[in-house]
Amino acid sequence: MTDVNLLLSESLSAIETCVNSSAVEEARITLLGKKGKLTEALKALGQADPEERKNLGAALNQAKEQITSALEAKKNTIADSELNAKLASEKLDVTLPVVGETRGRIHPITQVSEEITAIFADMGFSAKTGPDIEDDEHNFSALNIPESHPARQMHDTFYLQGNGDNKTVLRTHTSPVQIRTMRNGKPPFRFIALGSTYRCDSDLTHTPMFHQIEGLVVGKEINMGHLRGCLSEFLKVFFELDEVPVRFRPSFFPFTEPSAEVDIGCSRSKDSLKIGAGNDWLEIGGCGMVHPNVLKNCGINPNEWQGFAFGMGIERLAMLKYGIPDLRTFFESDIRWLTHYGFDPLHIPSLVGGL
């Protein structure tokens, strides 16, 4: 016959000695599991005589309840202390210095290119591209610069392999994109082309690789007034000024007639240059009305269509807008320079809508 009191006290002390949750689970199985001590004792009830079975049954059920709640209580205390131990071991020292994160910067050329594209997009210009390695025909001949023309010398071209029609060059300007785009479509046209250009020239104010933005508008009624208005509007929005004086100085480009150099008003003091009204002028690009020969070379009838074109240096625009004094630093890949003059990648230019 089972000594219920003994079974109970042994069980409670076994539970009491448990030190972790798996020991509690083991104790539960030993006591209340299928083959557990208490389970066996309950099974054995069947053999007891009826009178005794009643008392013993009640005592065993009570013992079972006590054991169950002792197991539950032990389980909770252990879970609490295990959680506390875990929390203590995982605690953070918030006074530790943080490991700095490095964040990249947007190069001023990229920033300014995006600003320019956004402004012209607002004026209805699409953006076109062409290859950096051009053939002689697109870079020169189709732009009304024949083989013997002195203008070829003006460009300090980097020549690559090939000769005759196959001669290739690093494009000396973005104007060949005019030819490619016009030959590939039908007028009217209104687009910009932005990208790297190359000339064999290197000094304080020239780098062998630089960037240009080209613009072309072809329509039936396009005149020089449109050209002036378009550039004035662009410059005002770009420099975020109410007024930017623009001056067209007569010039020569084989692919435009008439041609002009574009100057903007500025004032210079000892070591600063301010864009806007002043008594000085600064050249920022070239422009003109598209030469009839260029239209003809693209299969466009110059008696029906006419247009204007312009080209500007992106580095020059970036230097003026953001006060970057030295052209050559753009291409030195100096991380300190980029940290200083570069732009936050999350910064959204506020220019769009400024028109």
Nearer to ligand PHE, 36 or 311 (CB): 311
63 binds ligand PHE (CB under 6 A): no
Q: Tokens standing for 105? A: 């910067």
256 binds ligand PHE (CB under 6 A): yes
120 binds ligand PHE (CB under 6 A): no
311 binds ligand PHE (CB under 6 A): yes
DSSP 8-class letter at 177: H
287 binds ligand PHE (CB under 6 A): yes
231 binds ligand PHE (CB under 6 A): no
Angle (CA) 294-300-306 rounded to 5° is: 70
309 binds ligand PHE (CB under 6 A): yes
Q: Which helix (H) or strand (E) holds 159?
A: none
198 binds ligand PHE (CB under 6 A): no
Q: How far is the CB of 138 from ligand PHE (least distance, A)?
A: 12
Q: Please enumerate in sequence order all residues whose Cβ is within 8 A of that of 284, keeping only pairs 6 or more positions apart, or say none.
A: 235, 262, 263, 264, 312, 313, 316, 317, 320
Nearer to ligand PHE, 41 or 246 (CB): 246
The beta strands (E) that lie in the chain are given as 126-128, 133-135, 168-170, 189-198, 209-219, 246-253, 256-268, 273-275, 280-290, 306-313
175 binds ligand PHE (CB under 6 A): yes
176 binds ligand PHE (CB under 6 A): no
Q: What is the CA 251 to chain-centroid distance, rounded?
A: 40
Nearer to ligand PHE, 37 or 247 (CB): 247
Angle (CA) 270-272-274 rounded to 5° is: 125
173 binds ligand PHE (CB under 6 A): yes
Q: Which of 288, 294, 297, 318 binds ligand PHE (CB under 6 A)?
A: 288
**Adjacent-strand bridge partners of 268:** 273
Do strands 189-198 and 126-128 pair parallel, antiparallel, or not at all (unpaired)?
parallel
Q: How far is the CB of 114 from ligand PHE (least distance, A)?
A: 21
Nearer to ligand PHE, 140 or 330 (CB): 140
Footprint on this chain of ligand PHE (rule: CB under 6 A) = 173, 175, 214, 253, 256, 286-288, 309-311
